[in-house]
Structure 1
C-alpha cells in the first residue's frame, strides 16, 4: 500500500469511527509528514482527496477540520430497490438469476479496482414491481471486504439490501447513462431490443477498500431520477 493510501485510510478511519468527531482539527501537514516519514506533497494529496470526499474542510491559516454533516448533498443517495418499488404502492418481488464465485479477471478492472489475485461474487438478479420487471441488477462483491458474502446464497434477499445491513460505506460513485437495451437486458426486462433504458452504475468503498460495483438497468419508460436541491452560498 502506498503512503498516500495509508494516510488516506488512517485519517478516514479515524473520522468514520468517531474517534475524530465533526469539528476536530486534523494534524497539520508538517505533523503528518513527520509521522509518516513522507513528503509534504504526499500528505497534501491525501488531504485533498479527503476534501473531495467531503470528510474534511480546509480553513486558511487555521488547518484542516472534520466536516459537519450537511442536510443536503450533491451526491445521490443509495436506495434499496425494494423500497423504491414499495414507495410506488406496488407489490415487490425479487429473483436471483445467477450467482458465481470466481477470481477477478482483467475485464473486471473497469468496474471494480481489485488485483488479479482477488476473489469476488458475480451476481445477476431482477427486481419486479406489480409483476413486471422493474430493474436488472448486475453486481460484483469484493470478498476481501465482505467475506460473509461467500456464505450468503442471495436467493431470498437482494444483494443491495443485504450489503446495506452488513457493511457501512464511506464513499460512493454514481454514473448515469441512457442506453439502448441489448439482447440479454431486453429479455430480462421484457422489453424490445434497442428500447431506451436508464443505467445507473455505482461503486462503493469502505475505509478505502472497494466493496461492490453494481449496474442497475431500468426500462426508460418506467423510471425517473428526481433530485431536490436548494440555492447554495454561491446562488
Structure 2
C-alpha cells in the first residue's frame, strides 16, 4: 500500500543523509566524475535539485519539464557551480517539494511525468525517494547500495520488476533475494531464475551493476533495457 505521508518523511530523511555526505566533499570534488557516464558530481547534484522542482510541477498539474532539451540544458547550466551553491539549491528545492507534498490534495488522481508516463499522485514521493537514494550512490562518495534502507531496496526491486514485466525482450524471470521473490519479464521461452544479495539485484535492475554478484539458472542473465 502506498503511503505518501510516510514516503515524504523518508524523502526528508534521505535528503538529510545526502546533504550530510555531500557537505563533506572538498571544493574540487564537485567537478570530478560521478559513477554516471558523462556526468560529474555537479551534474548529479544539479539534476537532483531540478528534479525536485520538476516533481513540484507534476503535483501542481503542470508539465514536468518544458522539454527534454530544456531539462538537459538546465542540468548543464547548473552543474559547474561551487559546492556551496549546490548544497543551498538542494536544500531549497527539497523544501519546496516537501511543502507541496504537505498540501491537501487528491492523492488518488492521475498525474503525468516525462515522456507520457502517468502514475498516481500518491506515488510521486516514492519516485522522489528513488531519485535521492540512487543518485546518492551515483555520487561515489561512500554511500553504497548496501547502505540503502532494506524496505526501500525491496520496494524498488518490486517497482522495477513490475516495470520490466511488460518488456517482451526480457524472458520470464524469477528474482530472489533475502527470502523474497518477484517475477518479471514479458517475453516467451523458458524461465530464468536470478538470485543473490538484494543490493546486487537492485543494482542490476537499476543499471548500477553488471550482475556479476548474482547467480543465474535456466539461461543467461537477461539483458534489461535502459531505464
Please report the TM-score for the alignment, with normalisation by the length of structure 1. Answer: 0.23
**Which structure has the greater CA radius of gyration?**
1
Please report the TM-score for the alignment, with normalisation by the length of structure 2. Answer: 0.23
Larger fraction in helix:
2
